[in-house]
Structure 1
Amino acid sequence: MRATMWLLAAGCLAHAACWTAPGALADQLADRFDRSKPAIHRQLNSARAEQRIAALEQLRDYPVADAARLIHSCFDDADEEVRAAAYSALVHTNSEQEVCDTLLEMAKSGMKQRGGPHSVPLALAALLSSNLPRAQVTAVQFLDNSVAESPYGPHILVAIADSLGAHGKPANVRPLARLSNTKLFKRHFGVRRATVGALTKIPSKEAVAALIGMMTEAGGEARADAAEHLTTVTGEDYGTNAEKWKSWWAEAGSAFEYPGSSPTAPYRTIVREGESGKYYDLPLFAERLVFVLDISGSMQGGRMDAAKRELLKAINGLPKHASFGVVVFNGSVGSWKKKLVPAEPRMKRSAAEFVAQLNPQSQTATYDALEAAFTFDTEAIYFLTDGAPTAGKIMAPADIIRSVTGVNKVRRISIYTIGVAPGFPGSVTDAFLKNLAEQNFGHYRRIDG
């Protein structure tokens, strides 16, 4: 008995000798970081990107506030690989509450910067990625209470989603799911589309499950994005029917394995049946859409008759839950209504009367028409023309694409283009409409003859 008690006592003494209080461990880590900091500073100030990346790799070993601030300073680095390494370093250290508190502090400070909070999205992405419940809650609260009320709010959430998608790790599925619980996800189409787009870049079973769970709320064009990706990676074809995808996943999800490589197809060619019908054989997925019709002089005769007929067929086929608008243009621009209206019988009749009295004349102010379409709260623009721009604020096709794509960076509106007799393949008009659609989440349709 005495021997047993002696052995127990000895064991306790040995354990006490080896055990270090958490506070002491934190002090040791801080001391170690202070000793390493001068050398890390020198590397971070190096002109060579690989040296700066090497310094960030070292900082991953120091989950302390001062190290987090150093990492955060690299978000403004000119080199994309350095910025990616900085984000990875923060994610590696965000399991410590001290680091998460520092990230929130820097995000709050960044929101007050003039010219926009450039470094805020990456800090919040790292915070959302933490496995600490308290950090997750404070991140969503900050997004809902501060970011959502800022004019930069949509920009920040789109940038968070883009960052998580670019990182492409299965661990990013959960922070994207948390992003879908925010106020701006529900309010802003661009945020929903960016979140769905980020999940399509993560090659994991968890991302597939999250996409299926998000389809109903994503709605419209974003739901179609999810459906195209799901069809590609699963081999199943349930279109944009969220309930059918959920039923399939309930039965087959446990056995599903993500393919080693996913086949690719041109955008908007996999899911061909839109919930809101078709227009010139282009599926109408959007729940909120604007039709833009060229009524310049070159559209006279059969072209105008066919364009009116196709437009009215599309409008008449819209379901009750859809909202729509009509913009027409020649040398100037006009709108049927100032805001989108419900696709009710009365509004469809009113639109038909408006379209019937249109008479082609004058020039082609393409940019001005697109600018007018962007004033609507829409998910998709269906833009029909038969020629290159000849009037308006911007006339060079490349400049129009550059301007529209820049404005669309956060809104993520689909621009579908229809070219009526646009010339030979690769002509100015043909190339312009094709590039405008491809760079803005849309698809181009040529109508020859």
Structure 2
Amino acid sequence: MKSLGKHLIMTALLLETVCAVPGLGASSRPLAAPAPDAMVATAATAGPGAEDPDNLVGEFAKYFKKYEDSATRVEAILALEDVEDAGVVRVLVPVLKLEEAEVVEAAILVLAGFESPEPIQAFLAALEGEKKEPTRLGLLRALASGGYGGALKSLEKCLKDRRSWAVRRAAVLALAAGPEEGAAELIVALAADREPAVRCAVLDGLAAMGSALVLDPAAAGLADEVWQVRASAIEALARVRRTSSVPLLIVQMAREEGRLLADAAMALETLTGRGFGQRRELWERFWETYKERYEIPTDAELAALLAAKKARAEEYSPPGAVSYHGISTPSRSILFVIDVSGSMENMVVEREKFADGGYPSMHRIDIVKTELARTIERLEPHVKFNVIAFATEIKRWKKRQQKANALGRSSAADWVRNLEAIGGNSKETYSSVGLAGAANLEGGKTNTYGALMAALGYDPKSPRTGDYQVELDTIFFLSDGRPSTGAYIDPADILREFTGANATCKVVLHTIAIGEFRKQFMKDLAKANGGSFVDLGR
């Protein structure tokens, strides 16, 4: 039995899903996905096949529409996981257009798991005949995860979809993850797509394939007006290592600042093994000396060079970096997200860890407020920033990113110092005597999903051009408790939804935990979104 939790993470990170399944010829007969009622009638009247002796497909068609809660629907879908029957495709394709993300994810998991020709042929025929965007996106994600061959004709049609950039992007990712011959040539044709998210997907996909066809569009992408595309271009040149990329990245260092400057420097270190950090003059001197005879080091040589570089890393550390709870970033556009739910009023247990911090008290909220205010007061004027405080509701310091000038720093630091934990233990006395409103216990829950999605300003259910082109490129997220309210509460669901939304935003998420709840969720959030995790203690 496959792991649903693991799959949900992997499907949110499609660029990391690289499967190799032997090629299978596409069906010559398109199979349009029937309407749900027609699907139920067809499947219910069909008898059990050789690959479905228990008639699970028929039972699914009979009972699924009666289930009203998502958990039961997911359970019903997963009952089909090991059924190698074309009927599974017939009954699950309509599920892909439902609004319940966890239900759709379960359907994608099953559709991506076929191993025999019959259901794979039915799957490819469904993709060939499907016209509706939500269903096509689900099928393309299942194709990317399953790695089925024989879908070239359908994917070509998706790549040419003028109405939906999301479909074009998903088709690029599916091609990059699959075994199709000539996939790289089809992908590179979209390198100049009008939608930045598609241009990013082309660069990311070709780089994941290790294709040299990425080099020219990546070089062009270094001049793109959208920073997310430039970030993908820099990463692509680092992953597909060629000597010709070295001078391009050195020049790029002069054009960038903040996080992308650091990305360009890191790409140069990955290419060469040299450890000059963000000191462009040293890279220029190095290249002027060696450019006529330079060769990219082998993997073994690179490993030795990087080990030596690590030993002297501090010598070339970037000036003006922002540090918050031990996590340093060169970013020039930062968002701090701080938990002010009721549990933040609790005292820390490991008080010796915080004894020398000069905090007003050992309450979690006082510790994190003090540290955040101190960090804000140290920000350089060229940095832009904002602050979000969240419990049940989400509150911003300002509507948009602000310059860290003297006025901005003073205003934000005061705003942070005046924050209070909402509905904490000290308020429970009110509740015990019938004054629940005064206690505001409902307002003191932990809306992790709402806070993270507010940080991106992104609604993944209705992708539109420009939604993902956020100004900020780095988020610090601090929380002490398990999610307890919001559209999604389960950590696996929140991880899937945020990581999926951030796949186009390309924001780095650093997570910081304080308290006694399970830390793996925070670790997974940071790892899946390019950031670091820090545990402040209990």
For Structure 1 versus Structure 2, the TM-score category normalised by the shorter chain is 0.5 to 0.7
Shift of 1:210: 3.0
Q: Is the 8 A contact 2:172 2:201 kept in 1?
A: no
Tell me the equivalent position of 2:298: 260
Tell me the equivalent position of 1:202: 240
Tell me the equivalent position of 2:74: none
Equivalent positions of 1:105-144 (< 5 A) are 109-112=160-163, 116-117=167-168, 119=171, 126=185, 143=192
Tell me the equivalent position of 1:319: 380
Tell me the equivalent position of 2:525: 436
Taking a change above 3 Å as real, the CA distance of residues 129 and 435 of structure 1, as seen in their structure-2 partners, is closer
Shift of 1:442: 0.7
Tell me the equivalent position of 2:485: 391
Equivalent positions of 1:32-431 (< 5 A) are 80=147, 82=149, 109-112=160-163, 116-117=167-168, 119=171, 126=185, 143=192, 147-148=193-194, 153-181=195-223, 185-187=224-226, 189-261=227-299, 262-263=302-303, 273=318, 275-300=320-345, 301-302=361-362, 303-361=364-422, 362-375=444-457, 377-421=471-515, 423=516, 428=518, 430-431=519-520
Taking a change above 3 Å as real, the CA distance of residues 340 and 254 of structure 1, as seen in their structure-2 partners, is same
Give the structure, 1 or 2, with the largest relative contact order (CA under 8 Å, sep 6 or more). 2
Normalised by the length of structure 1, the TM-score is 0.65
Structure 1's unaligned 5+ residue stretches are 1-41, 53-73, 88-102, 131-138
Once the two structures are superposed, residues 55-96 of structure 1 have per-residue CA deviations (whole angstroms, 9 ceiling, x without a partner) of: xxxxxxxxxxxxxxxxxxx99976648589x79xxxxxxxxx
SS at match of 2:244: helix
CA–CA separation in structure 2 for the residues paired with 1:393 and 1:345: 38
Q: Is the 8 A contact 2:342 2:445 kept in 1?
A: yes
Larger CA deviation: 360-369 vs 341-350: 360-369
Once the two structures are superposed, residues 243-268 of structure 1 have per-residue CA deviations (whole angstroms, 9 ceiling, x without a partner) of: 44333323334443322214489xx9
SS at match of 1:318: coil
Q: More helix by proportion, 1 or 2?
A: 1
Shift of 1:107: 9.6
Shift of 1:128: 9.4
Match for 2:523: what amino acid? K
Normalised by the length of structure 2, the TM-score is 0.55
- Between structure 1 and structure 2, the one with the greater Rg is 1
Once the two structures are superposed, residues 130-177 of structure 1 have per-residue CA deviations (whole angstroms, 9 ceiling, x without a partner) of: 9xxxxxxxx88xx3xxx44xxxx1221111111221232445322210
Aligned residues: 339
Structure 2's unaligned 5+ residue stretches are 1-23, 29-115, 122-139, 176-181, 346-360, 423-443, 458-469
Match for 2:391: what amino acid? N
SS at match of 2:247: helix
Tell me the equivalent position of 2:15: none
Shift of 1:388: 1.6
SS at match of 1:415: strand
Q: Is the 8 A contact 2:172 2:187 kept in 1?
A: no
Identity of aligned residues (%): 29
Larger CA deviation: 254-263 vs 153-162: 254-263
Match for 2:231: what amino acid? R
Larger CA deviation: 317-326 vs 219-228: 219-228
SS at match of 1:236: coil
CA–CA separation in structure 1 for the residues paired with 2:448 and 2:166: 31
Shift of 1:44: 6.2
